[in-house]
């Protein structure tokens, strides 16, 4: 009996070690199947005298375990081969690689939301170039050269020659879109202009040299501060919540008269949200709009700041880093 068992193992070893995976099933049946020599031998063990029964039982089980191991090795070898790409075998039951799904950036999400909201108020979307002419970014907005107000918009110049009319810069705000639109469209006008803006300044938690603004412009007959206040208040409530109050605080911008800052009562304090005002007569004229017939209001709001207030985000730089743990939360 012992002799028989050892012969089975020897044979199995020789055959399985040099076999291919395609022979796996046939070998498994041959060596472990119910009709295999091993199974037949094991069945006979129960008829042996007690001591031999115990010894042969042990030996038989050890040999069975070893054959199982040999067959498992054969399987592993096949898997390794498949991984190396050297085998044509493909296991369609293996789980696939699930790709990470992307999503819209929080800035894109809030801009889309605001576009949708303003569409409901009859506003359309206008765009302007990021590399802008000096005259649209400054002069036509009533900020002439050497005007001290220019210092408030630290500027990346692209092209700058003293006295040239074609100087270009990276727009420091979205306000030049107001002029571009007025010049190319007749009043009445209702537009928003979301887009990227640039300032030549050091970056920190609350300042980016690249950031987004959303500009608004409404021109019609008899537009007053009441219209300005109503539209801005409704927009802020839409973004921050119906219970959020707003107030207009007197301020100064060269292109509006009067000018205001909008504050929102949020999280237990007044927070500054944007600049706004009634478009000055001079700017209306520059845009080809008759200030005796029409009046209008405008506003300009920082997008990142708004999202930061809404969600309590402490650092503007998060928006521009590929930090998926941050971005996935929106």
Binding region for ligand DAH (CB under 6 A): 173, 175, 215, 253, 256, 275-277, 298-300
> CA-CA distances (angstroms) from residue 189 to 108, 115, 119, 136?
24, 16, 13, 18
In the complex with ligand DAH, the residue whose CB is nearer, 41 or 178, is: 178
For the chain, helix, strand, coil in percent to 5 are: 45, 20, 35
Output the smallest distance, CB 253 to ligand DAH, in A. Answer: 4
Q: Which two tokens stand for residue 107?
A: 């800035």
Which single residue brings its beta carbon nearest to ligand DAH?
A: 300
CA-to-CA distance for 9 and 31, rounded, in angstroms?
9
What CA–CA distance (Å, rounded) separates 320 from 210?
A: 9
How far, CA to CA in Å, does 274 sit from each of 54, 91, 216, 305? Answer: 90, 59, 11, 10
Residue 256 Cβ, how far from ligand DAH at the closest point, in Å?
Answer: 4
Closest contact distance (angstroms) between CB of 275 and ligand DAH is 3
| Closer residue to ligand DAH (CB): 173 or 305 | 173
Distance CA 88, CA 194 (A): 54
Cβ contact 121:190 at 8 Å: yes
DSSP for 184-234? HSPSSEEEEEEEEEE--S--BTTB-SEEEEEEEEEEETT--HHHHHHHHHH
Residue 3 labeled ligand binder: no
What whole-number distance in Å separates Cα of residue 31 and Cα of residue 24?
11
Min dist. Cβ of residue 172 to ligand DAH (A): 7
Q: Which residues contact 305 (CB under 8 A, 6 or more apart)?
A: 206, 273, 316
Residue 258's Cβ-count burial label (10 Å; 0-12, 13-18, 19+) is middle
Cβ neighbours around 290 below 10 Å, total = 10
Choose between 41 and 256: whose C-beta lies nearer to ligand DAH: 256
Of residues 60 and 287, the one with the C-beta less far from ligand DAH: 287
Task: Provide, rounded to whole angstroms, the least separation between the CB of residue 215 and ligand DAH.
Answer: 6
* CB-nearer residue toward ligand DAH: 36 or 246: 246
Q: Nearest distance from residue 260's CB to ligand DAH, in Å?
A: 8
Q: How many CB atoms lie within 10 A of CB 293?
A: 10
- The least distance separating ligand DAH from the CB of residue 277, rounded to whole angstroms, comes to 4
- Which of 136/253 has CB closer to ligand DAH? 253
CA distance 253 to 264: 20
Closest distance of CB 220 from ligand DAH, Å: 16
Q: Is 9 helix (H, G, I), strand (E, B) or coil?
A: helix
Q: Which CB, 167 or 259, lies closer to ligand DAH?
A: 259
Q: Which is nearer to ligand DAH, 41 or 174 (CB)?
A: 174
For residue 139, give the DSSP letter. Answer: G
Binding-site residues, in ranges, read 257
Binding site for Mg(2+), by residue number, is 257
């Amino acid at each position: 009996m012992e002799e028989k068992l050892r012969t089975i193992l020897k044979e199995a070893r020789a055959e399985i070690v040099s076999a291919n995976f395609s022979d796996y099933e046939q070998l498994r049946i041959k060596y472990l199947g119910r009709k295999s020599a091993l199974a037949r031998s094991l069945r006979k063990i129960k008829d042996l005298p007690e001591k031999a029964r115990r010894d042969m039982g042990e030996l038989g089980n050890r040999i069975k375990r070893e054959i199982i191991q040999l067959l498992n090795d054969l399987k592993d070898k096949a898997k390794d081969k498949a991984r190396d790409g050297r085998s044509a075998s493909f296991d369609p039951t293996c789980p696939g690689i699930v790709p990470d799904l992307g999503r819209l950036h929080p800035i894109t999400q809030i801009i889309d939301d605001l576009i949708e909201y303003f569409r409901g108020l009859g506003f359309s979307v206008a765009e302007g170039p990021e590399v802008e002419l000096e005259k649209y970014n400054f002069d036509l907005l009533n900020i002439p050269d050497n005007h001290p107000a220019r210092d408030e918009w630290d500027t990346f110049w692209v092209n700058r020659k003293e006295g040239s009319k074609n100087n270009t810069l990276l727009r420091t705000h979205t306000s030049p879109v107001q002029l571009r639109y007025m010049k190319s469209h007749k009043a009445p006008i209702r537009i928003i202009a979301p887009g990227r803006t640039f300032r030549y300044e050091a970056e920190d938690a609350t300042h980016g040299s690249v950031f987004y603004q959303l500009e608004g412009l409404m021109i019609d007959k008899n537009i007053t501060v009441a219209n300005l206040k109503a539209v801005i208040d409704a927009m802020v409530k839409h973004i921050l919540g119906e219970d959020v109050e707003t107030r207009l605080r007197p301020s100064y911008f060269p292109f509006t008269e009067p000018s205001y800052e909008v504050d929102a009562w949020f999280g237990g304090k007044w927070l500054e949200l944007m600049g706004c005002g009634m478009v000055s007569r001079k700017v209306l004229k520059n845009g080809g709009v008759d200030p005796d017939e029409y009046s209008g209001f405008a506003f300009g709001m920082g997008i990142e700041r708004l999202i930061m207030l809404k969600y309590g985000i402490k650092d503007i730089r998060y928006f521009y880093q590929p930090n998926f743990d941050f971005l996935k939360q929106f």
